[in-house]
Amino acid sequence: MDVLHWDGTLSAKDFRIGAFAFAQKWESCNLAFPPWSWLPCPKHPWLAPPEEEGYLSLEKICISRPNEEEDIDQISQIDTGEEETCCSRNEDVLDDATLVQSNHHELHYCDFHIVYSSTFRVPVLYFRAYCSDGRPLPLDEIEKELPACASKELSKKWTFITQEEHPCLKRPWYKLHPCGTAEWMKLLFLSDTANPKFEVVLELYLLSWFSVVGQVFGLRISLKISN
């Protein structure tokens, strides 16, 4: 496919290829976060999903700020017992605290899913946030705890947060609406003077996409991944 005539969208098969490439790059850089996992969509007895139907999952991410005056944010994965990693050691991975609770040292957790939209033909970031006892956080509480850069990104009108049914899990999740994704992804790759082949575009698509959408949550792509 000629990238110059590409509309910025992906087929379901292309999404699967790009998802595996993104997950491999993420895991190979030994980041503070756990790896993304490819999960097949649950099968229904009356409908057999195609082989490529699935999504990427990054779950049980805990980010806490014990004291508002402290500049160090700590990251942990809740059910591994691993030591918390200092944010100052991973400044290229994490920007500001995400989904934090500074009162009473209560921890908040977040699950992220990257799901293919058959309507918009682009990846979509679904997420949910909850307390340590499993209580879900409402959107107004989530928005209060997003990093300062989130409001800046959301004000650019390329996306907005909405709640819809998760297409695979059939439960309500929040998501970043993909209305402008194809357009800015096309512009992003057309701005590359190297004019990459479409195979290269597939390999870098989710990496480039997440480098933008991740900023809403203060999550930045490591420079090691982009090399």
Question: Could you give the residue numbers annotated as active site?
Answer: 179
Buried b (16+ CB within 10 A) or exposed e, 97-130: bbbbbeeeeebbbbebbbbbbeebbbbbbbbbbe
Q: Three-state SS for 64?
A: strand
Amino acid identity for residue 169 in this structure: L
Q: Three-state SS for 208?
A: helix
Q: In degrees to the nearest 10, what's the CA dihedral of 19, 157, 102, 164?
A: -60
